[in-house]
């Protein structure tokens, strides 16, 4: 499967539709191979077909490929045992499509501010490198004392034109490489994930996004007949937030000792590190679901509720971020214009 979520969801949706239409699994894969749009997809489907022809189970064939995660293989394996592969594939497709939608929403929300920031940096660089030196020559010919703001801008322009721009570029590249390397360290990644959840608006957006995926994934695993311990293990491995993943591992440990899932969640509350991971409403509904025997259904409803909240938070985030970026652009450009024309205004007052 392609590493792209779009390709993953398309593959799963197409396979689920063909199996639901009554085609045997092998025939469905062969049909997909004939219509595959990329050589990579055709090669992948061909390997799956060979494994099935050799007598392997579908989930075992999937595990031989690096493109199928533990959640995918676990759900398919449970579906093969329960005989509802078509339903599980369609639920998997919905889950992958939801992940793709969340990623697209985040990218769309950040696209405009990122474009404004890039344009601002380019305009400021052009002004500092080519425009400010011209004004510096004019100010030198006047021989008057310059305001502090203007002097600061002139010094910054000289530094940039004398090699400072190269130094800034090198520092940015090195900083990105160092940050990427640090993010590969589990303690750093865990510290960042836990602190991101505490940000005023962004933290709530990330938290609800992670909870929507957590509840939806656990619901799908339970509906497919996966035991709760195995389901929690898969959910922990598939969580992109390390804090939530570690909390899920702790839940699994407590459930393995005989506690209910709700009691295990309440047991994490005194720990400051896990105190805010599972909201009280989630814990209460999990408790109701366990007592009524409808935990999977309640988790699915919770997932849709969190998804709606994520959509609302995304709109709030976008509406707040756009004016902030415009204010930033106005302050930066206004400061530069003021710095360059303030000596001219002062000269006019003297004359």
| Predicted confidence (pLDDT) per residue in 6-21, tens digit | 777 888 899 999 999 9
Question: What percentage of the chain has pLDDT greater than the value 90?
Answer: 20
DSSP state of 163: I
Q: Give CA–CA dist 134/127, Å, rounded.
A: 10
Please tell me whether residue 314 adopts helix, strand or coil conformation.
helix
Sequence-distant (6+) residues with CB within 8 A of 44 are 1, 65, 67
Which tokens belong to 292? 């009524």
DSSP assignment letter at 146:
P
Is 80 exceeded by the pLDDT of residue 77?
yes
* Half-sphere exposure (Cβ direction) of 101: Cα atoms closer than 13 Å: 14
d(CA 239, CA 236): 5
| CATH for 99-351, options being 1.10.3720.10, 3.40.640.10, 1.20.81.30, 3.50.50.60 | 1.20.81.30
pLDDT of residue 20: 92
- 8 Å CB contact between 22 and 45: no
Residue 149 has pLDDT above 90, yes or no: no
CA distance 124 to 256: 59
pTM (predicted TM-score)? 0.77
Task: Check: CB of residue 98 under 8 Å from CB of residue 213.
Answer: yes
350 pLDDT tier (thresholds 50, 70, 90): very low
Q: How far apart are CA 180 and CA 174, in angstroms?
A: 10
Residues present in the chain in total = 351
User: Are the C-beta atoms of residues 75 and 92 closer than 8 Å to each other?
Assistant: yes
Mean pLDDT over residues 138-156, rounded? 82
Burial annotation 270-293 (CB, 10 A radius, 16+ → b, else e)? eeeebeebbeeebbebbbebbeee
Rounded CA gap, 346 and 4, in Å?
A: 59
CA–CA dist 285, 280 (Å, integer): 9
Q: pLDDT digits over 104-127, tens only?
A: 877 887 787 888 888 888 888 888
* Region(s) of the chain under CATH 1.20.81.30: 5-97, 99-351
User: Mean pLDDT across the chain, nearest whole number?
Assistant: 84
Interior CA angle at 134 toward 133 and 135, to 5°?
90
Of the candidate CATH numbers 1.20.1250.20, 1.20.81.30, 3.40.50.970, 3.30.390.50, the domain formed by 5-97 belongs to 1.20.81.30
Q: Report which DSSP code applies to 37.
A: S
Q: CA 208, CA 181: separation in Å to the nearest integer?
A: 27
d(CA 276, CA 270): 10
Run of H or E residues at 58: helix 58-63
Percent of residues in the chain assigned helix, strand, coil, to nearest 5: 85, 0, 15
State residue 75's pLDDT score: 86
């Amino acid at each position: 499967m392609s590493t792209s979520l779009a390709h993953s969801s398309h593959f799963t949706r197409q396979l689920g539709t063909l199996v639901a239409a009554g085609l045997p699994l092998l025939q469905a894969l062969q049909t997909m191979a004939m219509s595959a749009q990329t050589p990579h997809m055709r090669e992948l489907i061909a390997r799956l077909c060979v494994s099935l022809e050799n007598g392997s189970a579908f989930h075992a064939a999937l595990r031989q490929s690096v493109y199928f995660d533990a959640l995918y293989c676990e759900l398919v394996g449970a579906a093969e045992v329960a005989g509802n592969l078509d339903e599980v594939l369609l639920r998997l497709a919905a889950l992958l499509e939801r992940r793709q939608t969340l990623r697209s929403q985040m990218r769309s929300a950040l696209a405009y501010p990122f474009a404004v920031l890039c344009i601002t940096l380019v305009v400021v660089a052009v002004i500092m490198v080519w425009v400010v030196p011209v004004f510096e020559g004019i100010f030198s010919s006047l021989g008057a004392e310059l305001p502090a703001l203007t002097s600061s801008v002139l010094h910054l322009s000289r530094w940039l034109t004398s090699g400072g721009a190269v130094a800034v570029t090198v520092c940015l590249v090195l900083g990105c490489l160092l940050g990427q390397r640090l993010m590969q360290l589990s303690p750093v990644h865990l510290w960042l994930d836990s602190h991101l959840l505490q940000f005023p608006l962004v933290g709530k957006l990330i938290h609800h996004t992670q909870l929507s995926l957590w509840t939806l994934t656990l619901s799908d695993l339970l509906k497919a007949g996966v035991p709760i311990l195995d389901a929690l293990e898969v959910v922990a491995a598939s969580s992109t937030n390390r804090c939530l993943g570690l909390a899920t591992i702790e839940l699994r440990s407590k459930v393995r000792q005989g506690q209910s899932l709700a009691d295990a969640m309440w047991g994490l509350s005194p720990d400051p590190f896990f105190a805010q991971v599972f909201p009280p409403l989630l814990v209460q509904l999990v408790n109701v679901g366990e007592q009524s025997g409808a935990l999977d259904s309640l988790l699915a409803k919770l997932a849709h509720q969190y998804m709606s909240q994520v959509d609302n938070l995304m709109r709030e985030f976008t509406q707040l971020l756009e004016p902030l970026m415009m204010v930033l652009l106005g302050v930066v450009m206004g400061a530069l214009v003021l710095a360059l024309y303030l000596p001219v205004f002062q000269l006019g007052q003297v004359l």
